[in-house]
Amino acid sequence: MKIYGQPEDRIRQAVASGDVTIAVYGLGKMGLPLAAVFADAGARVIGADIDEDVVCGINQGICHVTGEPGLPKLVERNVGYGRLSATSDLVHAAEAADVMVILVPTLLDYGNKPDMSIVESVCADIAEGLNSGDFVIQESTVPPRTTQNLILPLLERSGLPAGDFGVAHCPERTASGRAIIDITGAYPKIVGGIDDASTETARALYSTINKKGVISVSDATAAESVKVFEGLYRDVNIALANELAMVCDELGIDATEVFDAANTQPYSHIHAPGCGVGGHCIPVYPYFITETVRSRTDMLRLARRINDGMPAYTVDLLESAFAELNAGISLAGARVLVMGVTYRGDVNETRFSPAIVVINELRARGAEVFAYDPVLGALVGRFGAIPYDLDSAAGTGGTDEAGGTGGIEEMDAILIASDHAGFGELDWDLLGERMRHKVVVDGRGILDPAMLRSRGYLYKAVGRP
Ligand SMILES: NC(=O)c1ccc[n+]([C@@H]2O[C@H](COP(=O)([O-])OP(=O)(O)OC[C@H]3O[C@@H](n4cnc5c(N)ncnc54)[C@H](O)[C@@H]3O)[C@@H](O)[C@H]2O)c1
């Protein structure tokens, strides 16, 4: 059933009774959870993806996205009920569907210019299968005005004018590892259409799956801006925290103590400093503004520069720790174990991870770099480090998987680059007993400095002189 412009109760009924068919373009980390949630609400859902392996797996009820609690069960159940299927025939998916949701990667090119080519290609496929009364939803994060200036004209190549079909931007606001709870109600959904009927249709559709409700904004450009601005807020505020933490290093005061005390005022929200900002959202979205508007964007550019400089600053801390140790050791020739390579703790995501920049920086300064990541395992070898298997909770007896050397007793330092929960639980007494030099640089500020110092470690963290 075509739902564009229909009253809310009819839309709710169409979803619950399986009378509406929704095609979700892109069955990745975000697209598959959304497809599964719509199917679980009753809709017939076709996942449309160019990856044949993904399509084949979904049709067998197999969930290829890892680290999303609840998702495998949702996929299995709804494929079993016949409500969720997948295809690589992208035009056919549009022909068969009443609603098409675009949730594919939006990237930067080598000059940091937004690259919307995947969205463009999906729009071309949808246009070929577009029918009167269809409703197209753009969920991928895009620069403001993309719906109006890029997506709409591409869809109008179908021969249908806007108004014969509806379009809305309804940004994905979830984070890896929390997709299902985020989609179904951790925050309200934001929707903004190219016309009032589109906005209303989107509001009614998402209110069937989001318990926190739906916020309608004036148009698609406003909705696009909501999502991008959330990311920019984080980037700028993390840059501020990083800059203030470096000031604390110079002043010889503890940034955590100062920030915590300052944040007891309701107007102060100083973030946590660290070795950098990663993931394919926060470090990317600033360019969706700086590279697309004429207005001055000095603050956004400066924040990017500060955050991009944090991996090198963290390696500087290690260099200064070796100098302080005064044991004739420097980064050149040192063996350093980087702990954590994912961009955030306990998620399987390495895109734009500052840990990778840390590894490259250490190697450029002559260190021999090992890496241990409980989520990635031996895959850390992809990033230029020697995979290191810290094989017990006590953190002893590790071997490098390249040649069997590099036990913990040969490590000169540990540098923590992502905040995996287990790192705090390691037996730091035992590790310290065995390491060649007891140096820890905590790029995420997750360890207790007093605990490590009382065990004889030379401990440094950003903003904790
Ligand atoms: N991952 C996150 O935490 C997150 C959070 C919020 C928003 N987003 C946004 O969601 C969007 C999608 O991100 P993701 O993390 O799901 O990406 P992903 O890389 O996990 O998955 C993308 C999927 O799209 C498929 N694909 C690529 N080209 C295609 C095409 N032409 N037609 C159909 N399918 C195609 C790929 O095969 C893959 O399965 C991005 O715009 C991102 O900015 C992501």
Range of the domain at 49: 8-218
Domain count, the chain: 1
Distance CA(160)–CA(166), nearest Å, equals: 11
Between strands 114-115 and 107-108, the pairing is: antiparallel
Give the mean model confidence (pLDDT) for residues 111-127. Answer: 97
Report the distance separating Cα 139 and Cα 144, nearest Å.
13
385 occurs within a structural domain:
no
DSSP class of residue 452? H
Q: Tell me how many degrees the CA angle 177-183-188 measures, rounded to the nearest 5.
A: 125
- Single-letter amino acid, residue 27: L
Question: What does DSSP say about strands 335-339 and 107-108: parallel, antiparallel, or unpaired?
Answer: unpaired
* CA-65 nearest atom, ligand 1: 20
| 281: annotated active-site residue | yes
Q: Pick from 230, 352, 242, 255: which is nearest to 302 by CA?
A: 242
DSSP 109: -
Rounded-to-integer distance, Cα 39 and Cα 55, Å: 16
Contacts of 295 (CB under 8 A, 6+ apart): none
Give the distance (Å) from ligand 1 centre to CA of residue 271.
28
Q: Which of 170, 281, 438, 460 is catalytic?
A: 281
Tell me which residue has tokens 């609840």.
70
pLDDT tens digit sequence for 206-220? 999 999 999 999 999
Q: In the chain, what percentage of residues exceed pLDDT 70?
A: 96
379 pLDDT higher than 60: yes
Q: What is the mean pLDDT of residues 158-173?
A: 97
The CATH number of residue 142's host domain is 3.40.50.720
What is the per-residue pLDDT for 407?
A: 64
pLDDT digits (tens, 9 = 90+) for 404-451: 444 677 899 999 999 999 998 888 998 888 899 999 999 999 999 999
Closest of 253, 276, 286, 205 to residue 34, by C-alpha: 205
Burial of 348 (0-12, 13-18, 19+ CB in 10 A): middle
Pocket-testing residue among 24, 29, 101, ligand 1, by greatest number of atoms within 8 A of Cβ = 29
pLDDT band at 397 (very low <50, low <70, confident <90, very high): very low
CB 95 within 8 A of CB 129: yes
Indicate which residue of 2, 29, 189, 227 is catalytic: 227
Contact 13, 43 (CB under 8 A): no
Task: Give the whole-angstrom CA distance, residue 336 versus residue 444.
Answer: 16
Output the CA 32–ligand 1 centroid distance in Å.
Answer: 9
Domain membership of residue 30 (yes or no) is yes
What gap in Å lies between CA 232 and CA 288, rounded to an integer?
10
Q: How far is the CA of 107 from the centre of ligand 1 (A)?
A: 10
pLDDT at 463 over 80: yes
Query: Hey, is 8 helix, strand or coil?
Result: helix
> 242: which DSSP letter?
H
Tokens 């050149």 found at: 332
- The string of pLDDT tens digits covering residues 134-151 is 999 999 999 999 999 999
Whether residue 34 is predicted with pLDDT greater than 80 in this model: the reply is yes
DSSP 67: S
pLDDT of the residue at 23:
98
pLDDT the model gives residue 391: 61
Mean pLDDT of 322-351: 94
pLDDT digits (tens, 9 = 90+) for 400-417: 444 444 467 789 999 999
- Residue 121 Cα to ligand 1 midpoint, Å, equals 13
**Quick check: 238 pLDDT over 80?**
yes
Assigned domain for 51 exists? yes
Note whether 310 and 388 are within 8 A (CB). Answer: no
CA-nearest residue for atom 44, ligand 1, is 30
Task: Examine the residue annotation and report whether 227 is marked as an active-site residue of this protein.
Answer: yes
Average pLDDT over residues 31-50: 98
Residue 389 has a pLDDT of 82
Atom of ligand 1 nearest to the CA of 141: 41
- How many angstroms does the Cα of residue 123 sit away from the middle of ligand 1? 15
CA of 103 to the centre of ligand 1 (A): 6
Kindly report, residue by residue over 174-185, the tens digit of the pLDDT: 988 899 999 999
**Cβ atoms of 395 and 431 closer than 8 Å:** yes
Atom of ligand 1 nearest to the CA of 30: 16
Smallest CA separation from ligand 1 atom 26, residue: 26
Structural Rg of the chain based on CA atoms: 25
pTM of the predicted model, to two decimals?
0.93
Asked if residue 376 lies in contact with residue 353, where contact means CB atoms within 8 angstroms, the answer is no
| Ligand 1: residue whose CA is nearest its atom 13 | 105
In-domain check, residue 368: no
Is a pLDDT exceeding 60 seen at residue 245?
A: yes
Among the ranges given (106-115, 258-267, 300-309, 385-394), the one the predictor scored with the smallest mean pLDDT: 385-394
Q: Where are the alpha helices (DSSP H) in 165-292?
A: 179-181, 196-206, 220-251, 255-262, 285-290
What's the mean pLDDT when you consider all of the chain? 94
Say which residues have a Cβ less than 8 Å from residue 10's Cβ, sequence separation at least 6: 3
Q: How far apart are CA 159 and CA 138, in angstroms?
A: 20
In a domain, 181, yes or no: yes
pLDDT of 126 > 80? The answer is: yes
CA 139 / ligand 1 centre spacing (Å)? 10
Give me the count of residues in the chain: 465
Ligand 1 atom, smallest distance to 32 CA: 16
Query: CA 8, 184, 67, 283: dihedral to nearest 10 degrees?
Result: 80
Backbone angles phi, psi at 186, to 5 degrees: -75, -35
**pLDDT bucket at 395, cuts 50 / 70 / 90:** very low
Share of the chain above pLDDT 90, in %: 89
User: Is there a domain that residue 122 lies in?
Assistant: yes
Q: What's the confidence (pLDDT) of residue 402?
A: 44
pLDDT at 392: 44
Q: Is residue 140 part of a domain?
A: yes
Does residue 381 sit within a domain?
Answer: no
At 431, which amino acid appears? L
Pocket-testing residue among 25, 172, 189, 228, ligand 1, by greatest number of atoms within 8 A of Cβ: 172
pLDDT of residue 153: 98
Residue 387, phi-psi category: left (phi > 0), alpha (psi -120 to 50), beta (remainder): beta
Kindly list the protein residues whose Cβ atom lies closer than 6 A to any atom of ligand 1: 25-31, 48-51, 54, 90, 103-106, 118, 121-122, 140-141, 172, 174-176, 281
103-123 mean pLDDT? 96
